[in-house]
Amino acid sequence: MEIIRPQNTPTASSADALTVALAQIAPIWLDRVATTDKIAATVRQAAAEGAQLVCFGEGLLPGYPFWVDQTDGARFESPEQKAWYAHYLDQGVVIERGDLEPIQAAARETSCAVYLGIMERAPDRGGHTLYASLVYIAANGEVGSCHRKLQPTYEERLVWGPGDGHGLRTHALGAFTAGGLNCWENWLPLARASLYGQGEDLHVAVWPGGPQNTEDLTPVMAREGRSYALSVSGYLEASAIGVDLPGAAEMKASGKAFARGGSCIAGPDGQWVIPPVSDREALLLAPLDHALVRREHQNMDPVGHYSRPDVLQLRVNRERQSTVKFED
């Protein structure tokens, strides 16, 4: 896999330095076990290159539902769409049964933390709906948080359920405080503010794949939060469509690139550390310097000295939502 590093590497004290990797890879599309193995191998590769945090795109495990807008996905009571959904649900990730354990083991072995987009099949919601979830796996291999996307976007609503605020959490990584959001919820100012208020200064934005999603917003998030912003995307060519479901052959024959990448990193001044990388699998590696975060907060802190909590406040409900509550 191609390794991409910034042209200019800052010199940081050991206390301020953190090396991050953005893994712009293709899934073994809609194959949970094979994709899990590829992700675990990529964690080990990134760690061997010095990464202390490696990030993967939205829904990468087992893959984004690209079939929906290619196979008449909105047709009601369609046997073909039901077949797609049944397969997708079957390949969903159940954290409670240990589906992430191979990736957790890779994190443990390498002391490398992971942000990963998954299609979560959630037993606490009955087990028959998928959620676009962003999972944080700590360097000790433990799952630190699982954020279910607040609002699926457009055709995603045909196959995903809306999430909740339970996973709006941050995590200490050396001198940094990391948080993350899924795809278009990165456009939500209040969702971003919920992380800023917890001290976030390293923002992870995960996307299915496409520079049109990342090139405009990434510097804005970085400049607004005075943080590093990491936008990580997936990659998928038509030739990688391997499932045997209605319309899959036409998808494969189309020659389209369903996900083009566009992963990039912006610094707390809004300038590119690594500009968007598209149209190939790649591992973006960059050392980050927390001193730059502190410098940029001198004249702007959206939840600190430049805020007015007596005028404007945000209330966040982090209760995990469920249809049924049992009192035994």
Enzyme catalytic residues: 58, 149, 183
Cα distance between residue 237 and residue 255, in whole Å:
7
Q: Which residue has the tokens 């829904």?
A: 59
Cα distance between residue 242 and residue 258, in whole Å:
14
Structure tokens at 219: 């510097």
Pairing of strands 235-237, 257-266: antiparallel
Cα distance between residue 197 and residue 13, in whole Å:
26
Cα distance between residue 264 and residue 290, in whole Å:
18
Q: Which residue has the tokens 């699998």?
A: 281
Are 117 and 133 in contact by the 8 Å Cβ rule? The answer is yes
Are 232 and 23 in contact by the 8 Å Cβ rule? The answer is yes
Three-class SS of residue 209?
coil
Three-class SS of residue 39?
helix
Cα distance between residue 80 and residue 166, in whole Å:
34
Closest-CA residue to 294 (of 8, 1, 12): 12
Q: What is the DSSP annotation of 118-131?
A: EEEE-GGGTSS-EE
Structure tokens at 37: 């193995």
Amino acid at 126: G
